[in-house]
Amino acid sequence: MYPEETEQLLAKGREALANDQEYLALVCFEKAIRMEWSPEACSSLAYCRAKVKGNYPESILLARKALELEPDNPVHYGNLGRILILSGEVDEGIRMLRQGLHHGEHINIVRELERLGIRKPPIFRKLARGHPLNKSLGQLLSRLGFK
């Protein structure tokens, strides 16, 4: 599928990500993508760039491109979901992670959803979760033990 050296870089990048070594993973995926472009390298590189460099718009575009090319690969949903969460688009990120679970269970998706926990519905469902009324009333009710 990939030349041997590219596959080794991808494997090393995956392992680095699994061990929370985003800088090393970034270098591996950048080298791999220079050798041979692939959706996997593109998606993983996008996540690393978002995590390390905070370049969210470019990272989101890269991850969406990988997802467009391989729409049944849960890895791409996981990477895009985590990028969206990092960029502050938490609701969209969670939606993307959950959508990824429909294409197969992936450890990164499961870990991210567990880390985020189960969110309770907003007080006023017609208002956005981040609306000041939902936020302040939700915090108040939570402190009082009603939510």
pTM for this entry: 0.78
Dihedral Cα 68, 73, 77, 80, nearest 10 deg:
-60
Dihedral Cα 54, 2, 20, 66, nearest 10 deg:
40
- How much is the pLDDT for 146? 77
- How large is the greatest C-alpha to C-alpha distance in the chain, in angstroms? 60
Tens digits of residue pLDDT in 5-27: 889 999 999 999 889 899 999 99
134 or 68, greater pLDDT: 68
pLDDT band at 109 (very low <50, low <70, confident <90, very high): confident
Q: Count the alpha carbons within 13 Å of 133 in the hemisphere toward its beta carbon.
A: 6
Give the mean pLDDT of 68-95: 94
Residue boundaries of the structural domains of the chain: 4-116, 120-147
CATH tag, 4-116: 1.25.40.10
